[in-house]
């Protein structure tokens, strides 16, 4: 009997061990989740913002300068990097040197950051818009693969940009004639704010949180999100109208043939 019970005892011991191991992994995963939503996210946003400033500096202090000023800047940056022990090659771009100077990163990361800025420029992304654009396109590593934009993607992007412009115009008009006006006790923000709502009965919006003084990047991101929804609704309406028109025309053609 004892020999028969031994395998069951071993199996139970192993089960207890694996249960505890999974519990520990769940705790570590929870720590990762907290880190990802706090420290990592904050650090990533700071990185994107700083890279945007380097991008802006590059345009202002190199691109929009005379050839003599460009040469002087490159020589000065290269000299500083060399003094700090960084090897500067003759074919190194000034953008890469600036990124290396600011971030003190290894060559591989410098190339990724440089590629991200170069791709952003191809997509007509301004330095002040870089952080939002990177966030919307899966970060620095994600945008480095956007080296070639298909005609279809370009057309969709241009359509979205046009929709964003139209929506911004509507928002400006609604400053004088808003959809609704309300006063919430305890809140008196002088800046643009956002309301987080939950759906209520009969189309009611249940306001559960007021986000006061949202940043420009967050505001633009919200407008773009609204523009996507707006565009999708209009596209669906256009598609349904086209279907109806096509059906009517087919019926009219049949009537003409019968006549």
| 96 and 128 together in one domain | yes
Q: Is the pLDDT of residue 222 over 90?
A: no
Higher pLDDT, 186 or 242: 186
Q: For 5-35, b where at least 16 C-beta lie within 10 A, e where not — what string?
A: eeeeeeeeeeeeeeeeeeeeeeeeeeeeeee
Q: Is the pLDDT of residue 39 over 50?
A: yes
State how far the Cα of 39 lies from the Cα of 68, in Å rounded to an integer.
43
State how far the Cα of 73 lies from the Cα of 201, in Å rounded to an integer.
63
State how far the Cα of 122 lies from the Cα of 19, in Å rounded to an integer.
52
| 81 and 190 together in one domain | no
Q: What percent of the chain has pLDDT over 70?
A: 91
Q: Of 143, 164, 197, which residue constitutes the final position of a domain?
A: 143
Q: Which helix (H) or strand (E) holds 245?
A: helix 216-258
Q: Of 120, 143, 166, which residue constitutes the final position of a domain?
A: 143
pTM: 0.49
Q: Token pair for residue 210?
A: 């007021």
| 136 and 225 together in one domain | no
Give the pLDDT confidence score for residue 167 in this predicted structure: 85
DSSP state, residue 147: S
| 176 and 254 together in one domain | yes
| 34 and 82 together in one domain | yes
Taking alpha carbons only, the member of 173, 33, 54 closest to residue 104 is 54
Lowest average pLDDT, out of 36-50, 82-96, 156-170, 226-240, goes to: 226-240
| 36 and 134 together in one domain | yes
Give the pLDDT confidence score for residue 1 in this predicted structure: 47
Q: What are phi and psi of 247, to 5 degrees?
A: -65, -40
Give the pLDDT confidence score for residue 150 in this predicted structure: 61
Task: Count how many residues are written for the chain.
Answer: 259
Q: What is the pLDDT of residues 112-128, one digit of tens each?
A: 999 999 999 988 999 99
- Domain hosting 214: range is 151-258
Number of independent structural domains in the chain: 2
For residue 30, give Cα distances in angstroms to 16, 33, 39, 41, 42.
Answer: 21, 5, 14, 15, 18
How confident is the model over 204-212, as a mean pLDDT? 86
| 10 and 130 together in one domain | yes
State how far the Cα of 54 lies from the Cα of 39, in Å rounded to an integer.
22
Q: Are 140 and 54 in contact (CB under 8 A)?
A: no
| 158 and 199 together in one domain | yes
Q: What percent of the chain has pLDDT over 90?
A: 16
DSSP of 32-75: HHHHIIIIIHHHHHHHHHHHHHHHHHHIIIIITS-HHHHHHHHH
Residues 6+ apart with CB under 8 A from 159: 231
């Amino acid at each position: 009997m004892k020999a028969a019970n031994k395998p069951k005892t071993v199996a139970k011991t192993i089960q207890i061990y694996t249960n505890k191991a999974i519990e520990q992994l769940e705790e570590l995963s929870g720590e990762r989740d907290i880190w990802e939503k706090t420290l990592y996210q904050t650090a990533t946003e700071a990185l994107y913002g700083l890279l945007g400033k380097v991008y802006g500096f590059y345009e202002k202090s190199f691109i929009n300068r005379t050839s003599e000023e460009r040469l002087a800047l490159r020589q000065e940056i290269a000299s500083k990097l060399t003094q700090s022990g960084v090897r500067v090659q003759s074919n190194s771009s000034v953008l890469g040197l600036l990124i290396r100077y600011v971030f003190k990163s290894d060559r591989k990361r410098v190339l990724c950051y440089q590629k991200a800025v170069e791709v952003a420029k191809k997509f007509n992304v301004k330095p002040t818009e870089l952080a939002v654009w990177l966030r919307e396109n899966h970060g620095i590593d994600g945008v480095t693969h956007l080296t070639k934009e298909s005609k279809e993607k370009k057309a969709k992007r241009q359509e979205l940009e046009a929709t964003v412009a139209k929506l911004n115009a509507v928002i400006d008009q609604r400053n004088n004639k808003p959809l609704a006006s309300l006063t919430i006790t305890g809140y008196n923000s002088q800046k643009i704010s956002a309301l987080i709502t939950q759906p209520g009965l009969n189309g009611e919006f249940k306001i559960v949180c007021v986000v006061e003084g949202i940043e420009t990047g967050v505001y633009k991101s919200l407008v773009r999100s609204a523009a996507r929804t707006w565009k999708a609704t209009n596209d669906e309406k256009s598609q349904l109208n086209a279907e109806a028109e096509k059906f009517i025309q087919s019926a009219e053609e049949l009537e003409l043939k019968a006549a």
